Amino acid sequence: MKIKFIRWMSLLAGITLLTNLTSCIKDKGYKLETDFSSLQDHVVLLNAGVGSAAISSSNVAFNSDTATVTIIVNLTSVNPPSSPVNVTIGVDAAQIDPYNTAHGTAFELLPDSAYTLANTALTVPAGQQYAETTISFYKSKIDPSSSFMLPISIVDASGKSLSTNENTRFFNIIGNPIAGNYSENWQRWQASDTTGAPFYNFTDDNIFSAESPTQVAVQSVENGALFHISFTNTGGVLSNFNVTLDPSSWTNFGATAVLQDPAFLTVDPVAGVYRFWFKYSVSGSPRTVIQTFTKE
């Protein structure tokens, strides 16, 4: 399936180049005839560039301490190469400042200790049009409060032309001042209020994961409820905190209706304490939950 996909992407990339090479189109008077013979070979990186789709696809998401992503170099050509094509890739730190200037961001270069690029020398075999390697990122080596970028560019392609807009893939890790490791205390009452002792009372480790510089996501370890916490950051002063429950997670904890949307009881970004409650029902039976997250 991957090979078919790569061939299809190669065809699309080639078509894109063809549409820009109008000199290759000859008017015979009665029809347009496309002359492929003068198409120049190019080597590109899939998911490269600064478009929103490319940047989004290069955002590093962690489901564990290590996130491994595939890097694919692609030869766009009329025919597959008759001999191997050697391609060299590498970190291109000089791309970060122009990117920040153009997009109003503040990405920093990802430290060497936070990633491993498996190979910098790739070979597109004869008869094929792509080669691939992997890059691994290590969550424990990354400061979650800062935003990092790791531009990977094609350095050399054995004389093949390089694209001006698909030569660099901008791997990025979004930082957030409240992202990081937290202790979650989860309490639930089998009632519509919090009278008496909670029926359940658990404490576990959890994580605030950055969704943007001013929003994090956290999924309860106890019942799978997914929350989004947003705020305003004014020169480092955090305010206007809001918490919402993601409807996609209702089935995780059996909710048939939400009786009260999540609302904060405590917000203390200095101490790193966030406490909120919400109410829901399971087939008519009310439940009240209070969750307290304390930064570790």
- Identity (one letter) of the amino acid at 28? K
* Confidence at 186, pLDDT banded by 50, 70, 90: very high
* Confidence at 251, pLDDT banded by 50, 70, 90: very high
Contact predicate 83/134, CB 8 Å? no
- Element of type H or E holding 100: helix 96-103
**Range with lowest mean pLDDT among 1-10, 54-63, 126-135, 265-274:** 1-10
- Rounded distance between C-alpha atoms, residue 267 and residue 178, angstroms: 12
* Residues 177-190, mean pLDDT to the nearest whole number: 93
Range among 36-50, 207-221, 256-270 rated most confident: 256-270
- Rounded distance between C-alpha atoms, residue 99 and residue 235, angstroms: 22
* pLDDT tens for each residue of 106-147: 899 999 999 999 999 999 999 998 999 999 999 899 988 889
* Confidence at 25, pLDDT banded by 50, 70, 90: very low
**Range with lowest mean pLDDT among 55-59, 65-69, 139-143, 227-231:** 55-59
Is 143 in a helix, a strand, or coil? Answer: coil
- Element of type H or E holding 2: helix 2-20
* pLDDT tens for each residue of 1-22: 444 444 444 444 554 444 444 3
**Range with lowest mean pLDDT among 20-24, 191-195, 236-240, 247-251:** 20-24
Q: How many residues does the chain have?
A: 296
- Rounded distance between C-alpha atoms, residue 168 and residue 99, angstroms: 11
pLDDT score at 38: 54
Is 188 in a helix, a strand, or coil? Answer: strand
- Rounded distance between C-alpha atoms, residue 120 and residue 126, angstroms: 19
pLDDT score at 81: 86
| Chain-centre distance for alpha carbon 28 | 48
Is 3 in a helix, a strand, or coil? Answer: helix
Backbone φ and ψ of 58, nearest 5°: -100, 10
**Range with lowest mean pLDDT among 114-123, 172-181, 235-244:** 172-181
| Chain-centre distance for alpha carbon 40 | 33
| Chain-centre distance for alpha carbon 205 | 23
pLDDT score at 225: 94
- Element of type H or E holding 292: strand 285-295
pLDDT score at 39: 64
* Residues 279-291, mean pLDDT to the nearest whole number: 96
pLDDT score at 18: 42
* Residues 157-180, mean pLDDT to the nearest whole number: 89
**Range with lowest mean pLDDT among 37-46, 156-165, 175-184, 283-292:** 37-46
- pTM to 2 decimals? 0.64
Residue 110 per-residue DSSP state? P
**Range with lowest mean pLDDT among 41-45, 87-91, 207-211, 231-235:** 207-211
pLDDT score at 12: 46
